[in-house]
Amino acid sequence: MQGSTPVECEVLNVIQGAGIWPDCDDKTQLLQAIQKIATASLPIRQYFTEDGSFVVPEGVTKLRVTVAGAGGGGGLNGYRIGEQSEDGQASSVTYNQEVVIAEGGKGGWSAKTTAISAPHGGATNGDVNLVGQGSPGGNGTTSQDGLTGGAGGNGGLAIKEFAVLPGETLQVVVGAGGTTTADPAPDYSGNYGVDGYVIIEWV
């Protein structure tokens, strides 16, 4: 089918380019074509919230990985002077002996009068390496008299693109968030650092 005007020709090119046979009775074909083309261009993602492996699918030659380190645990209140909560653990993706790492944030410190926040984690071997842009650290716990421990550091974030071959395998490690050092331990889960994560994307 051919259009009789330049505009009709342009519209038909879009419809046919999306693999749809033109039908004069169907007034929604241009919309269908745009939706189909837009959907085809969106990346497919796999999320990792725990350790695992990823096998490159057939037809895929490029991957983008986003690696987030875990947050550190929030510091305890002023009655536990000089104690540091757990650090967040690092997350990583390994491909052909190349390791992209996002470090975990450090655990927060307790302090009697001043809340000392902990350093954020960094990242290495990514095309983009960001400090403190991964999973958040925990808040410091507060005592009855209002003394609050320092916040845990955020994890780092790394983004990298790999040229790959179908059937190859990437190894994924996801870091756990840091906890507080409460003893005995009431429910301080809201003050724990958030676990890391990994996202692998392809088109």
Q: Are 145 and 187 members of one domain?
A: yes
Please choose, from the candidates 82, 184, 80, 194, the residue with its C-alpha nearest in 3D space to the C-alpha of residue 141: 80
- Does 98 lie in the same domain as 131? yes
| pLDDT single digits (tens) 91-118 | 999 999 999 999 999 998 886 656 677 9
Query: What is the distance between the alpha carbons of residues 185 and 192, in angstroms, rounded to a whole number?
Result: 12
| Closest to 103 measured CA to CA, from 130, 125, 122, 127 | 122
For residues 30 and 53, state if they share a domain: no
Beta carbons within 8 Å of 203's beta carbon, 6+ residues apart: 41, 42, 43, 44, 62
Q: What's at 148, amino acid-wise?
A: T
d(CA 71, CA 134): 8
Total-model pTM: 0.78
Tell me: do 57 and 105 sit in the same domain: yes
Check pLDDT > 90 for residue 123: yes
Count of the separate structural domains present in the chain:
2
* Residue 118 to residue 1: CA distance in whole angstroms: 67
Q: What is the CB neighbour count within 10 angstroms for residue 57? A: 13
Q: Who has greater pLDDT, 121 or 140?
A: 121
10 and 74 share a domain? Answer: no
- 143-171 tens-digit pLDDT: 766 777 889 999 999 999 999 999 999 99
With residues binned 3-state (H G I as helix, E B as strand, rest as coil), the percentages for the chain, rounded to 5, are: 15, 25, 60
Same domain, 14 and 48: no
Task: Tell whether 165 and 111 lie within a shared domain.
Answer: yes
Phi, psi dihedral angles at 190 (to 5 degrees): -70, -15
Residue with tokens 């209002």: 146
Is residue 5 scored above 90 in pLDDT?
A: no
Mean pLDDT across 114-126: 88
Claim to verify: residue 82 and residue 168 sit in the same structural domain: yes
- In this structure, are 104 and 16 located in the same domain? no
Both 163 and 149 in one domain: the answer is yes
Q: Are residues 76 and 30 in the same domain?
A: no
pLDDT of residue 126: 97
Q: Kindly state whether residues 163 and 91 are assigned to the same domain.
A: yes
Cα separation, 174 vs 93, in Å, equals 9
| pLDDT recorded at residue 184 | 44
Range of the domain at 90: 43-202
